[in-house]
Amino acid sequence: MKKLKHYTPGGRRLTVEFLVEVHDSRATYALKSTVRQAIEAVLDHEDFEPDTTVSVTLTDDRHIRQINRMYRKTDRATDVLSFPMYERGEAFTAKERPVLLGDLVLSLDTTGRQADQLGHGFLREAAFLVIHGMLHLLGYDHETSPEDEEEMCRRQREIVAMLQLP
């Protein structure tokens, strides 16, 4: 597993642990850098200050479908899965350092397909999906109520705007 460490201006250390499960030409340094920037933007937007570790698995539709079936009882591929270590709000008060927020699993196949369908770049779509997944790791959930869905969508829009993605 490859670790990418980054120190933010405020002093928070962010460690992103990457696991690349597939041989895919899209699993580049540029992708990993974009993922790290998206994670950092979410943490900044949410004023999350502690040293933090996030695990990111880059995979394909076949593998993410297996994971989705195993953990969510949904037998289909999806774009991103999030496995938080904390319930909503608990990560902000966690005593451990660094705070292990949880795991993100990103399907490069679905990311590419969605980018094509939406008419924007692969890296922009990957950043959006990581933002979405990170909000789940911090306890937000768009599936609990229409109000929660709107709150999460608003946060996603604000963070995408912060990153100035094409």
Q: pTM of the entire structure?
A: 0.90
What type of residue is 63? H
The residue behind tokens 């953990």 is 71
CATH number for the segment(s) 2-163: 3.40.390.30
Look up residue 74 and give its DSSP letter.
-
Task: Quote the pLDDT of residue 7.
Answer: 47
CB 19 within 8 Å of CB 58: yes
3-state secondary structure 20-70: ECCCCCCCCHHHHHHHHHHHHHHHHHCCCCCCEEEEEEEECHHHHHHHHHH
What type of residue is 4? L
Which stretch of DSSP H or E encloses residue 128? Answer: helix 122-137
Please return the burial class of 145, using the count of CB atoms within 10 Å of its CB with bins 0-12, 13-18 and 19+. Answer: exposed
CB 41 within 8 Å of CB 162: yes
Per-residue pLDDT of the chain (166 residues; tens, 9 = 90+): 545 444 455 567 899 999 999 999 999 999 999 999 999 999 999 999 889 999 999 999 999 999 999 999 999 999 999 999 988 778 877 888 889 999 999 999 999 999 999 999 999 999 999 999 999 999 988 877 788 889 999 999 999 999 987 7
Task: Tokens for 144, please give them.
Answer: 């609990």
Instruction: Name the residue among 104, 99, 107 with its Cα closest to residue 136.
Output: 104
